[in-house]
Chain A
Amino acid sequence: MIPYDAAPDPEPPATVPRRVLLVEDDEGIARDVVDELTAHGHLVTWSQTGPDGLDRAMSGGYDALVLDRLLPGLDGLALLGRLRAEAVRTPVLVLSALSAVDDRVGGLKAGGDDYLTKPFAMAELVARVEALLRRPRETRETVLRAGPLEMDLIERVSRRSGRSLELLPREFRLLEYMLRRPNQVLTRDMMLEDVWHYRFIPQTNLVDVHIGKLRRKVDPPGEDPLIQSIRGVGFMLRLVD
């Protein structure tokens, strides 16, 4: 199912607005993306052609790029290659038509950080752009701590407020993924892709069931719920540091 933002749960806008460059030739899609990202508090610049997009991206000053695969003037992947060759490291989300399979691999090889196939739900796009804006905490520490949660990656034990959580290996992996991305909307597709490395749309509420199991262990009755459902979009691990 395509997630749909039935009940917009606007995140408090980031204190410093982030700048996003959208390079997309389809005006209809571009308008929707600009509106949606703007509504989430980002400053969006829209570029309609490849060469223009390249100029703007090279000038720097963007925190993330949303790049269509097929562009007039300069192919999206070629643009990406030129950017990376010039050591521009801005995180990039590549958009493409679904039927082009090799695109995903090609897009990631060319230096893309994430990949989204059309048609996509706006909520999915926003969640992924925000994931790019807040790269996960890649620490070398073997113990992750956030809020009341603590995970020992070597001992494979996790605690909430000092109380041990008896997690199955798959639940441990899922919690670790969420703990590295606190206070961030995570869509079902992102989880299936990043935690299980599958990229298909299950016909059952697969991710919800896994989250449900994890939630029963992490959020026992009487304690503040940490794992929250974002209606129609996905889930979030809400932590107040």
Chain B
Amino acid sequence: MSTEPGAVAGQTGRLASLRGALGFLGTGSFRLALGTSAVLAAATLLQFWLIYWRTTAYEVERADRLLDREAILMAAEAPADLREQLRLWASSDLHLVITVAGLFDAGRRPLAGDLRDWPAGLPADGAIREITVHPADQPVRAVRAEAVPVAGGRILVIGRSLRNLQQIRGIVLAALETALIPALLVSLLAGAWLGRRNLARARRMQRAIDRIMDGDLHERLPIRDGSGRGGDEMERLAVSVNRMLDRLEHLMDEVRGVGDDIAHDLRTPLARVRAGLERASRRPALSPAPQAAALRAAIDRAVADLDQCFAIVTALLRIGEIDSGRRRAGFATVKLRALAAELVELYEPVAEAAGHRLLLEPGAETAVAGDPGLLGEALANLLDNAIKFSRPGGVIALGVRGRGGDVVLRVADGGIGIAPEERVAVLRRFYRSDKSRHIGGSGLGLSLVAAIARLHGARLAVLGGDGSAAAGPGTVVELVFAAGAPA
């Protein structure tokens, strides 16, 4: 074999393009069309066989009935008339009913009619049989025939041709051809067309997925209309995949942002620690007692700053732990109202010490599925925030209420409030509004609450207060457990 490499490549290329063009053969749509065609063919064949079978039965029955009637009529004729009758028959209408006829003597020798020989396989018992006859001057034909004894010891043989039946068979087969073959062709063509179309769609989706895998997380699977509601299963699948991609992209963005935020938020206290310790070590020597006191103060400040670093790291680890979803294993029925009452009891002295009034709005007990420890922690964080960001004299109201089937856990304060444009941002890790920069904390309280809400399938919403509080615009934070949510 001395095929040039180029030719081989060209051949392979042609093969590949052929495979590409015939790719629809492997699609689900085409296979479905193929299956449908097979079933269609089988059903049509069965239907035509039934028609043919019924027609045959009818035709045979009709032939037999006619033969019997003629036999009775002819047997009733006088012997001499019968011979005359047969002669007449050859040129009469009767020929249409009786195809062949013959009169034989007792020794089965022909006397009259167009049958010159006694037909083989026909006993003279008056029963109708399907046989082949050889009439004079006529082609061999299949007939229903009977032999009946008539007057004078003679035997009359009459037969009716089954030519009608053969014609019907021809018609049925022709009809079958004209009905089935175009139907099959149309079905297969439609299958091929649908297959090619779906294949093209699948290829477009594949290309989109390839681009996503190459790192372009903004890419989405092609969708015909935005909603995906009216679409077929492929469309709905694409919509689901796109939703998943949205979530992934969001998480990736968050992770990317978090890296920067952690670095920044840890850098600040760490820089303070370093500067403080450096200052302390360079301090000019004082007499021992003030020296010790100064060092002590420097160390205390450093420890406080390191504590803040610790708090940030701890909160981050905790958020990661909650987001891992493993806590879901410990879900139980949590009575939200009882939990809220517990938290009010825990935080009442703190609120009081800060000059706020903490109260639980009246209402009925409501239960959700969840982790009581985590839900308690979420509420504690919300109360911490409410206390921290309220001016003294404010009222902090904790409520558990039903709203259109949902269960809403609500903390409302009359504090400094959160600007509308910042209400989504505050749920981000580390976000701290400019107004609150001077107030301590890891800055992760709401992020932690958001993580706990995610774990419970609940929605965390930050709203503005109604502005009725004199102390400030106020903030309302709601944890909404949707009705029937798989919490």
Q: Using a CB–CB distance below 8 Å, which chain A residues touch chain B?
A: 1-2, 4, 6, 98-99, 101-102, 105, 119, 170, 196-206, 209-210, 212-213
Contacts and interface: CB of A to CB of B under 8 A. Distances in A.
19 contacts: A1-B310, A2-B307, A2-B311, A6-B299, A98-B317, A99-B317, A99-B320, A105-B330, A119-B313, A119-B314, A196-B346, A198-B373, A200-B318, A201-B311, A203-B442, A204-B387, A204-B388, A206-B346, A209-B353
Given A99-B317, A105-B330, A198-B377, A204 B307 contact: no
A170 B387 CA distance: 20
A203 B381 CA distance: 8
Contacts of A197: 373
A105 B373 CA distance: 13
Contacts of A199: 373
B307 A4 contact: yes
Nearest to A232: B303
Interface residues of B, number: 37
Given A200-B377, A201-B314, A102 B384 contact: no
B321 interface: yes
Contacts of A105: 330
Interface in B311-357: 311, 313-315, 317-318, 320-321, 324, 326-327, 329-330, 342, 345-347, 349-350, 353
B467 interface: no
Contacts, number: 72
B276 interface: no
Q: Is the interface of A mostly helix, strand, loop or mixed?
A: loop
Given A2-B307, A212-B349, 14 more contacts: A6-B299, A6-B303, A99-B320, A102-B326, A102-B329, A196-B346, A197-B373, A198-B376, A198-B377, A200-B373, A200-B377, A201-B314, A203-B381, A205-B350
Interface of B: 299-300, 303, 307, 310-311, 313-315, 317-318, 320-321, 324, 326-327, 329-330, 342, 345-347, 349-350, 353, 373, 376-377, 380-381, 384, 387-388, 440-442, 445
B479 to A, nearest CB: 16
B311 A206 contact: no
A213 B384 CA distance: 19
The 8 residue pairs across chains A and B that have the minimum distance between CB atoms: A200-B377, A203-B384, A209-B349, A209-B350, A98-B317, A1-B307, A2-B310, A203-B441
Nearest to B308: A1
Q: Which of B310, B381, B442 counts the most A-chain CB atoms under 10 A from its CB?
A: B310
B307 A200 contact: no
A193 B47 CA distance: 80
B306 to A, nearest CB: 8
B317 A210 contact: no
A101 B321 contact: yes
B384 A204 contact: yes
Nearest to A6: B300
Nearest to A4: B303
A101 B347 contact: no
A198 B380 contact: yes
A101 B326 CA distance: 8
B350 A206 contact: yes
A205 B330 CA distance: 29
